[in-house]
Amino acid sequence: MKVQAKDATIQQLIKHPNGKAFRDDGTAEWPDDQFTKRRIRDGDVTVFEEDPPPEGGAREGAQQQPAAQQQPASQHEPSGEPQPQPGQQPEPFPGQQPE
C-alpha cells in the first residue's frame, strides 16, 4: 500500500522494519501489516490515493446503495402481535404478576 508521511520529520525518522524508507516526495510503498496500520492509526502516515474517487465519493464501477429510510416508531410494520393502545398496559408475560 502506498502511504504518505504527515510531515518532513516523520519522513526522515520513520522507515518500515523491512527497510523501505520514504521517497523524496514523502510517499512509500509499505505492506499492509501491523506496523503500517499502527502508523496510520497514530496519524504518522496516511494512505496515499493517486486517483481520488469521482464526485460523490463513489469509485468507478461501484454501485451506490440507497440509504435505509428511517421511519418513526409509530409507523413501523406491525410484528403480528397485538400492540397496546396509548394509556393501556401491555399484558404480562406468563408467570408475571400484573402491575
pLDDT tens digits along 20-31: 999 999 999 999
**99: which 3 cell numbers?**
402491575
Which set of grid coordinates corresponds to residue 20?
A: 523501505
Q: Residue 67: how many CA atoms within 13 Å on its side-chain side?
A: 3
pTM of the shown model: 0.49
Residue 16 lies in a domain: yes
- The count of structural domains within the chain is 1
Please report whether residue 17 resides in a domain. yes
Q: Within a domain: residue 8?
A: yes
Dist CA 24 CA 13 (whole Å): 13
Backbone angles phi, psi at 36, to 5 degrees: -65, -45
Cβ neighbours for 11, distance < 8 A, ≥ 6 positions apart: 5, 22, 26
- For 1-97, strand residue ranges (E) read 2-5, 27-29, 45-47
In a domain? residue 92: no
Name the nearest CA neighbour of 44 among 89, 4, 93: 4
Enclosing domain of residue 30: 2-47
Q: What digits encode the pLDDT tens for the residues 69-85? A: 444 554 555 555 566 56
Domain-located, residue 59: no
